[in-house]
Structure 1
């Protein structure tokens, strides 16, 4: 004979599995174009760029008084003002190499969470997308 507590236990695990807590944040992203001459994090050291060319400048929301330098994030595109711009199911890892406010090359859209390199944006969305809503998580 099942107790009342054990009768709802399978239902609890089903809901826990379906509605698990997310460990990611939501934000926005735009892109900036070469020349990539970051100065806020590592000076002009070319070795700071990941070989994938997936990097970004941090917006003020994640800048954290410079602590963002070198942080790596997994990001994916959720949606955009441009219909069907996202490459759903694509997730990439980027490295923060600069501060968006100080970048020599200006972002397409000011005030975003991250300003992605051309290669990073093209990996998760169509290259001409003006801005994206993103899911991001520090790794």
Structure 2
């Protein structure tokens, strides 16, 4: 239980620091499904499921590896799921991979991270994000 409280406190502090030091950007989020390894940043080292792959806009020749991003669901991108945002609408993810060629999103969230902020049936959402 104490470990859970410490993790929650760390996450809250990290979110506060992000909001004080980072600019808000807008983009598109998609999601990918397991297996999540190997990844471009960590090979076969498991980084959990609160992870994402960076598009060229974020990748920066691999400098994005290990960076944390706060992603906020803003709205849907299609009429099929007009109100996809759900839950808290915010998730913090670690960049562990590079989005493959042809990636449609600015950030490609793990399926689990996407499901915390949006209905997976929507597939693609409008987001704001910050490091």
Indicate the structure (1 or 2) with the bigger Cα radius of gyration.
1
> Does 2:111 match 1:118?
yes
Runs (4 or more) in structure 1 with deviation over 4 Å come to: none
- Report if aligned partners of 1:41, 1:97 keep a CA contact under 8 Å in 2: yes
Q: TM-score of the superposition, structure 2-length normalised?
A: 0.74
Indicate conservation of the 8 Å contact 2:72/2:89, yes or no: yes
Residues 122 and 85 (structure 1), Cα distance of their counterparts in 2 relative to 1, 3 Å cut = same
With normalisation by structure 1, the TM-score equals 0.70
Runs of at least 5 residues in structure 1 that lack an aligned partner in the other structure? 1-21, 103-108
Are the equivalent residues in 2 in contact too, given 1:77–1:133 (CA < 8 A)?
yes
Aligned counterpart, 1:58: 54
Q: Distance in 2 between matches of 1:123 and 1:70?
A: 21
How many residue pairs align between the two structures?
A: 107
Question: Structure 1 residues 61 and 38, CA, compared in 2 at 3 Å: closer, same or farther?
Answer: farther
